[in-house]
Structure 1
Amino acid sequence: MATSLAAGLQAISSSMTNMPEATANIISEARENVQKQFDVKSTIQPGQVLPEFVLPDARGVPVSSIDLLAKGPVLITFYRGGWCPFCNLALRAYQQRLDDFKARGVTLVAITPEQPDASLSTTEKNELKFPVLTDNGLQLARKLNITWEQPKDLVGVLNGFGADLEKRHGNDSNEMVIPTTLLVDQKGVVRNVYAEADWTQRLEPQEAVNWVNAL
Structure 2
Amino acid sequence: MHQQSAGQLPAEVLAAFQDEQQQLDAAGIPAGVATVGSVMPDGDLLDAHGEPTTLTAARNGRPAVVVFYRGAWCPYCNIALRAYQEQLQPALATRGVALVAISPQTPDGSLTMQQTKELTFTVLSDAGNQIARRLGILTAPTEPVRQAQAALGLDLTTVNADHTPALPMPAVALVDTAGVLRWIDVHPNYATRTEPAAVLAALTTLD
RMSD of the TM alignment (CA)? 1.9
CA distance in 1, matches of 2:187, 2:124: 20
Superposed displacement of residue 59, structure 1: 0.8
Distance 1:120 1:22 in 2: 28
Pair 1:43-2:50 in alignment = no
- Superposition pairs for residues 1-215 of structure 1, below 5 Å? 12-18=1-7, 19-96=9-86, 97-121=88-112, 124=115, 127-215=118-206
Residues 151 and 174 in structure 1, CA contact (< 8 A), matched pair in contact too: no
The size of the alignment, in residue pairs, is 204
Q: Would you say the 8 A contact 1:149–1:175 is kept in 2?
A: yes
Q: Which consecutive residues of structure 2, in runs of 5 or more, have no partner in the other structure?
A: none
Aligned-pair CA distance for 1:136: 0.6
Q: State the Cα deviation string for residues 69-112 of structure 1 (Å, max 9, x = none).
A: 44310110001111111100100111112121011110000000
Deviation at 1:123, TM superposition (A): 6.5
Aligned sequence identity (%): 31
- C-alpha separation between the residues in 2 aligned to 1:43 and 1:106? 23
Deviation by residue 1:48-79 (Cα, 9 ceiling, x = unmatched): 11123231011112222332344310110001
Structure 1 residues 115 and 73: CA distance shift in structure 2, 3 A? same
Deviation for aligned residue 1:147: 1.3
What one-letter code is carried by the residue in structure 2 that aligns with 1:169? N
Q: Report the AA paired with residue 27 of structure 1.
A: F
Unmatched tracts of structure 1, length 5 or more: 1-11
* Greater helix share, structure number: 1
The answer to whether the 8 Å contact 1:83/1:162 transfers is no
Secondary structure, counterpart of 1:117 in structure 2: coil
Give structure 1 regions of 4+ aligned residues with deviation exceeding 6 angstroms. Answer: none
Q: How far apart in 2 are the matches of 1:194 and 1:78?
A: 10
Distance of aligned partners of 1:64 and 1:174 in 2 relative to their CA distance in 1, 3 Å threshold: closer
Whole-Å separation in 2 of the counterparts to 1:171 and 1:181? 22
TM-score, length-scaled by structure 1: 0.86
